[in-house]
Amino acid sequence: MRLDRRTFLRGTGVAIALPYLDAMTPAFASVAAPPIRLGFIFVPNGVNVSQWRPTPKMKGLPPTLLPLQKVAAKINILTGLDQKNGDALGDGAGDHARDSAAYLTGAHPVKTAGKDIKVGVSADQFAAQQVGKLTRLPSLEIGTDGSAQSGNCDSGYSCAYSSNISWRTASSPMAKETNPRSLFIRLFGDPEARADEAEKAREATYLKSMLDLALDDVKKLKAKLGAADSGKLEEYLDAVRELESQIQAVEKTPKGPPKDLAIPVAGRPKDFEQHLRIMSDLLIAAWQTDTTRIASFMYSNSGANHTYPSLGINEGHHTISHHAGEKGKLDQLAKIDEFHVKQFAYMLEKMDAIKEEKGTLLDNVMIVYGGAISDPNAHNHHDLPILLAGKGGGSIPGGRVIKNSATPLCNLFLSLFDRMKVKADTFGDGTKRLAI
């Protein structure tokens, strides 16, 4: 049988996208190249650079990056990349706000005292404006901390800068989704059904699995598929059901107020690692089903002061990052850096286990991981901690240290745009393609 690439499993109020199946390729046709996906992950507060950066005498990965060993052949470490618009440029303090605001825009944010917020269009949204029409969701913005659009969060800079890396226009940030259940419904609920407010309320009270609601469609489709496709479908549906189970378990967990007494977001896991991993799983599902090809993921907001009791760290991340060269704080900062890298490794290993038409999902993505602060004690926006994961459809060799010197980070974005067929002569402060 021949299946359309946009086939959905439908039931009452749900439309579940499918992964690529052999039946979606016409008989006797050459296998089509899978789509390339583009992602940006932001980690706040800089890093312990001595544990992050490779050195000429070092064999293998630096200590902080050791969790990436299993997928090291599909990762590149980039050195010498700058985001100079994170510098003060006469604006004084506020490096953390400039960190997140400049990260994907390559632009210097305007302090909001008597002025409107203004920074620049971000790389993800620039790409989405050209290729977002190819998928149901032009882009996806996710994170763990809530987004703010106003208020003073860093020395006169708006909270909009600290809590957003994705900007549709110079003055319009894209608020991110932090609630796993809401994100799940956004990805797998039927858009037409969601247009009705009563249907939204009903979806929020589902006790049955969304897969159960589409069970008749599942049975009909499986009866028509060959053994290989049937196995692929079953594996995918098991993954979707597992995601549902994780989210439902989180929603059933009694929630107490967090330490800062803020009202918790509905459905938000209390455990930070669990939150990161569920959101990672949902992002993988969005890419696997071609629901979107462009995404941004803020592990935390800029300047976040989370504690990490599971690591034996009860002082805040931001506080520790101002280490003043103290060994104890530098050691704690390295532990936090490694924790974040472990979450990234979890995501990459899972993508590398998902087979696609040619290679794996990891072979067909390009993910920039890092931020626009290097040494947090110096609030340095130069020689940034940047990783590039994925092979970009086979166009990016892995396992390298790509050395640069005083090179705009936006030059990297221009190179990634080319692989997404996004047209750009310049972007932000970038004017040349980075050789990757």
pLDDT per residue as tens digits for the range 42-55? 999 999 999 999 98
What is the pLDDT, as a whole number, of residue 4?
66
What is the pLDDT, as a whole number, of residue 251?
58
Domain presence at residue 387 = yes
Domain presence at residue 205 = no
In this predicted structure, the answer to whether residue 213 has a pLDDT above a threshold of 80 is no
Domain presence at residue 244 = no
CATH code assigned at 112: 3.40.720
Q: Residues 287, 18: contact at Cβ < 8 Å?
A: no
Domain presence at residue 19 = no
Structure tokens at 255: 């929630």
Q: Which residue range(s) make up the domain with 287?
A: 33-178+268-419
Strand partners, 400: 76
Domain presence at residue 249 = no
What is the pLDDT, as a whole number, of residue 268?
74
Average pLDDT over residues 136-151: 87
Number of domains in the chain: 1
Domain presence at residue 401 = yes
In this predicted structure, the answer to whether residue 193 has a pLDDT above a threshold of 70 is no
pLDDT tens digit string along 356-406?
Answer: 877 999 999 999 999 999 999 999 999 999 999 999 999 999 999 999 999
pLDDT tens digit string along 30-88?
Answer: 556 789 999 999 999 999 999 999 987 778 899 999 999 999 999 999 999 999 999 99
Range 38-77 burial, b when 16+ CB lie within 10 A, else e: bbbbbbbbbbbbebbbeeeeeeebbebbebbeebbebbbb
SS3 labels along the chain: CCCCCCCEEEECCEEEECCCCHHHCCCCCCCCCCCCEEEEEECCCCCCHHHHCCCCCCCCCCHHHHHHHHHHHHEEEECCEECHHHCCCCCCCCHHHHHHHHHCCCCCCCCCCCCCCCCCCCHHHHHHHHHHHHCCCCCEEEECCCCCCCCEEECCEEHHHHCCCCEEECCEECCCECCHHHHHHHHHECHHHHCCHHHHHHHHCCCCCHHHHCHHHHHHHHHHCCHHHHHHHHHHHHHHHHHHHHHHHHHHCCCCCCCCCCCCCCCCCCCHHHHHHHHHHHHHHHHHCCCCCEEEEECCCCCCCCCEHHHCECCCHHHHHCCCCCHHHHHHHHHHHHHHHHHHHHHHHHHHCCECCCCEHHHHEEEEEECCCCCCCCCCCCCCCEEEECCHHHCCCCCEEECCCCEEHHHHHHHHHHHCCCCCCCECCECCCCCC
Q: Whole-model pTM?
A: 0.83
Domain presence at residue 223 = no
Instruction: Work out the number of other CB atoms within 10 angstroms of the CB of residue 262.
Output: 9
Of 132-136, 245-249, 339-343, least confident by mean pLDDT is 245-249
Task: Name the residue among 99, 76, 144 with its Cα closest to residue 366.
Answer: 76
Of 129-143, 206-220, 317-331, least confident by mean pLDDT is 206-220
